[in-house]
Amino acid sequence: MNTTSELVALTAGVKAFVGQPHEALIDGRWQPARSGKTFEIYDPSSEDVIAHAADCGKEDVNLAVSAARKAFDTGPWSRMTPSERGKILWRIGDLIEANLEEFAQLEALDNGKPIAVARAADVPLAAEMFRYMAGWATKIEGNTIPLSVPYTPDAQYHAFTRKEPIGVVAQIIPWNFPLLMAAWKLAPVLATGCTVVLKPAEETPLSALRLARVCMEAGLPPGVLNVVTGFGESCGAPLAAHPGVDKVAFTGSTEVGRLIVKAAAHDLKKVTLELGGKSPNIVLDDADVEAAIQGAASAIFFNHGQCCCAGSRLFVQEKIYDQVAEGVTRFAASLRLGPGLSPGTQMGPLVSQTQFERVNGFLTSAREQGAKVATGNASSRTFKGGFFVEPTVIENTNDSMRVYQEEIFGPVVTVSRFKDVDDELIRRANDTVYGLAAGIWTRDISRAHRIGNRLRTGTVWVNCYNIFDASLPFGGYKQSGWGREMGHEVLRNYLETKSVCMSI
């Protein structure tokens, strides 16, 4: 196995930030949990405890929701012009960029992702998300609508719609892209003029807390953004169920997505969900084979497979199956594993002990069910601890095996052979409860369109994979979610439409 271990030196800013107490942000003030409790934050590359954060519960959630309500109803935020909101968002983008190295180090330390990836992707994408949404703040418009009311033939009306912020929004985010998921959620909700209570994942709260400081520095008034840190059941659940919350926006597992829907059902809160996936990545026999091999491997091993859209089911057409399977296996074996903070790391550890055990459970089940593990046979703790799992390629699966059916959320890909496109491939690719994303590798653009149109997924990548942009909507069909992130479509998640009809 390839490894690397030399670490970048933490900046003074990161050291100071990590070393301080990590409190909740409520009504513009940093405060400990009412209970006084804290929980431990780990570096998944070493399993060392690096910090403690406020273990917020129901009482803290109540305070945060009240602060968000007050800021929505009466605060300066509700009187700001869209342009003023846009300028604050733009400043947040600038400040993220100005602190790029600090954010990248926090992500590498807290989540275990390679620092090179955090510098090149997570942090710049987060900055761009705020800038993109800064532009939308001034472009949230209704329509004027001509009426033809049959029972008042002589009357005239002036009718129009207004797009209004939905109110107090609870946002619950996962640990796989801690900063970027916070940016995907916060930038649009702030553009619309809503107020927020954000709950980062308990595994990775640091960059969201740092981002909250940046938001305050950029001029966000107190109470507009509140951040509560804590666990799913004790902090997330009361937030999702809180009667003072108008809308819950959640990203995470499909399983917890169902709990969110149940929690929101009591008072019929609006809900959007960005959930799991088991995305098919399809290599047709006319593809550029080398590009497809690289693309298929990156589709699954990027972020250690901890992506809801990871290309975890690779389908390869018969004629080139051996070549592609062998190429992806070779690629997997060549990846350099290492701590997030090592500049040479291509793949870091999984985020937690729980994930480590979950992914290993899948590997055990694959072996027990008779699949062939072509590489990454052993998961291992290579360094001084750390939740490392080797990139793993599995062949000889059948379509009923757990590794083929269920979301693994780790660096594990199944490779399956197919013959026929029209019946076999489309049926198998769509044969999943999920519908988040898909990839197609081909030189024939007509085939790409014809297949892409029949895939029941929110995104189709052709001859590329994992391409994200603030302007491009992302979200799922079927059990992969409700609603879309990014693009102007995301604004719908946080707006109500008011119809105004005036007799003139």
CB 283 within 8 A of CB 320: yes
Q: What is the dihedral of CA 216, 126, 335, 432, to 10 degrees?
A: 120
Where does residue 108 rank: exposed (0-12), middle (13-18), buried (19+ CB within 10 A)? buried
Q: Which residues bind to ligand ADP, rule: CB under 6 A?
A: 172-174, 199, 201-202, 231-233, 236-237, 240, 252-253, 256, 259-260
**In 206-243, which positions are buried (b, 16+ CB within 10 angstroms) versus exposed (e)?**
bbbbbbbebbbebebbbbbbbbbbbebebbbbbbbbbe
Distance of closest approach, residue 237 Cβ to ligand ADP, in angstroms: 4
One-letter amino acid for residue 154 of the chain: D
Is 175 or 321 the residue whose CB approaches ligand ADP more closely? 175
- How many whole angstroms from its chain centre is CA 411? 17
Is 214 or 237 the residue whose CB approaches ligand ADP more closely? 237
Is 237 or 437 the residue whose CB approaches ligand ADP more closely? 237
Is 89 or 201 the residue whose CB approaches ligand ADP more closely? 201
Distance of closest approach, residue 254 Cβ to ligand ADP, in angstroms: 8
One-letter amino acid for residue 502 of the chain: M
Distance of closest approach, residue 255 Cβ to ligand ADP, in angstroms: 7
Distance of closest approach, residue 362 Cβ to ligand ADP, in angstroms: 14
38-43 and 48-54 beta bridge pairing: antiparallel
Q: Which one of 194, 308, 390, 395 is the catalytic residue?
A: 308
How far apart, in Å, do the first and last CA atoms of the chain sit? 77
CA–CA gap between residue 125 and residue 470 (Å, rounded)? 7
CB 193 within 8 A of CB 76: no
One-letter amino acid for residue 449 of the chain: H
CA–CA gap between residue 398 and residue 347 (Å, rounded)? 28
- Of 19, 140, 24, nearest to 86 by C-alpha is 140
CB 210 within 8 A of CB 106: yes
- How many whole angstroms from its chain centre is CA 408? 16
24-26 and 29-31 beta bridge pairing: antiparallel
Q: Tokens 């107490």 map to which residue?
A: 21
Is 119 or 199 the residue whose CB approaches ligand ADP more closely? 199
CB 70 within 8 A of CB 223: yes
Q: Is 367 left (phi over 0), alpha (psi -120 to 50) or beta?
A: alpha
Distance of closest approach, residue 345 Cβ to ligand ADP, in angstroms: 22
Is 46 or 306 the residue whose CB approaches ligand ADP more closely? 306
Is 207 or 375 the residue whose CB approaches ligand ADP more closely? 207
Is 252 or 458 the residue whose CB approaches ligand ADP more closely? 252
Distance of closest approach, residue 71 Cβ to ligand ADP, in angstroms: 22
Specify whether 102 is catalytic: no
CA–CA gap between residue 251 and residue 178 (Å, rounded)? 11
CB 109 within 8 A of CB 214: no
Q: Which one of 203, 274, 407, 485 is the catalytic residue?
A: 274
The first and second tokens of residue 451, run together, are 């297949």
SS3 210: helix
Q: Which helix (H) or strand (E) holds 19?
A: helix 12-19
Is 79 or 266 the residue whose CB approaches ligand ADP more closely? 266
Specify whether 274 is catalytic: yes
Residues classed as catalytic:
274, 308
